[in-house]
Structure 1
């Protein structure tokens, strides 16, 4: 066991992968680390160990266990609502029941049905970018996070859930604040989550009278109606669970996809050789998306788990009651499963990664997230052949959130040829 190492200090965000590599080199198995608040927990950094922990039911996500473990560790109380997302912070059978209620919204058929709408939304957002000021042969710098990566996922989620068009601007505002406001500003993340919950509760109240309660949830026209019906029929869903599932779809689905898209574009622009290869061979796009997800995942670490009993992982004994987190970012760059893991290679034939998790908590929205990233990348490469970072040595401004890996801003220039119409790319990566 190594001495507790500082994690999530300001310098960590500038060299996240260097830090994780150092932890992984500290010895086999999970290592004990410490965050700026003094909380010590076990960090899993190796790919095989990560899959083991994510599959092991002895590592619990039951909120009462987590709250007790944090309290015993002297961690600052987050207040009511710290574990407001029961689909994330739960074990079977509650997790199984809740997951079944929303899984129908993410079937291959449903995602395929959304594909034309995802394309349409993407190009509507790019049309708005096209209207921005242009001076001479070059455009003014455009922040792709603000103009594309932030709004695209929340608009797609609005389609999926069935949020009325008149309410979508407000939802974009909520989502943007969740991703850009830090610290105590805006009441802190817990308070912002609770406010968002109240917003969704009002949306449910407005929709409820129009939902046909005699129609099964799986036959409802959208996810919001399905959840309301499930709440009404056989009490399959409590009021709090209904609202929390809607909050989760926005917070988790939007935050991760926004980060994925920004990270992918940034990585390609910082590797012009890989960008040129992808432009020359559009058929590489689906595999390139997997490599980009591996190279810079937006979910750097899983939410915490608590050991129900003493558990041995790769020679390290994690004691009962100890807190554990899995670094997906580190596992994705484990040289034991990915040769030369720090190199971006859009032609990599196999890019194993855990960016969507593993086991019973594997991300339900993975197919939809992949669709959005493929669609947006294809559209950007088609419309803007001169797309480049606004400054050659442009620094990366990462969000100071340890569990997530996403950019606050991504200034780019849309150079000559930037306003060509779409024609060459499709979400599947074929011409």
Structure 2
């Protein structure tokens, strides 16, 4: 390719190549592209997508790998009514730079994970166990090289955050990332250990999946699965794409942009996560309010579940400057319940306690036998709840102060419904300025 020769192309509103001059066609063909398809050169496709999405002129220098050469170019993408006009001005051509292979250091998977996955620094899947994928209706081999979001729908926490994305930005370990397996719709928790190459550069995660229930569902679950499938297509899928695109703009993943767009993107992502949390709560309500809703009664070690729930919030508690003090969970305390539902209740209670705890405060977690019951206690040092509000906060969509940042007002409603479905309950002891103490009681499995 000659220096000084400008290449041009025109793309439609879906970023597909409509027309191009001979020089551009030759470059695109060598990269595997064609007329009517997306561009074969990933860097050019990224610039085109950014210009179209933001409706602004994007100009930048790029280095494009072409056969045995690297092309240093100046790229200009201008949005039009029908799509984007792209022009490339080659500046110079140089031999491709080849580096020695840098080995990636081994990283241990999260302890206790039910199965393990691995991604590179761009969150592309590089390892997925065959049996784990097929158990959820997925083709593991087809997912290799695909974004992690092709395997999981990431769900925001009660505060609207995404633990995995925050860990990726900080290049550190993470835990407590709620997710849904795309093939089966099963809710799981994710944790991950950061990998680094021999030079100490972040190279991705060795991740673990923590299942919230034993595999297999009864026929009574089919309407709920159908409802979840509808939510996935109508709401979760579009919301996930909105959040992902907003995060991409906010992080300036495609290059520097105006600060106003960064602020707008952050607002969009935050609102999207709030809506996603509401969608998940609606799915739970659809399940627990059905006449045929059933709990799988089984012995559950409440000590073990409390430890697991606390572990999911280790990173969040550290970031918030809150100490989690867990006691009485050394030995087994067997109760009657369903593991995934009891975990769901405790995750909600602990998440609430952390949200309302001041920096430097402590959240106390205790488990103990109380006659014919086993109880788990979650206590915080927040501002407390007035007596007249204590019954109301367990109602659907109820919040003490709607002006405060928080969830949808469904968490405590769902948690108490689940506790009562297994013959247990949730009680509250609180006073203004003295924090709150929530007690989950379940029937003891020990005589």
Tell me the TM-score normalized by structure 1.
Answer: 0.23
Tell me the TM-score normalized by structure 2.
Answer: 0.22
Higher relative contact order (CA 8 A, sep 6+): 1
Higher helix content, 1 or 2: 1
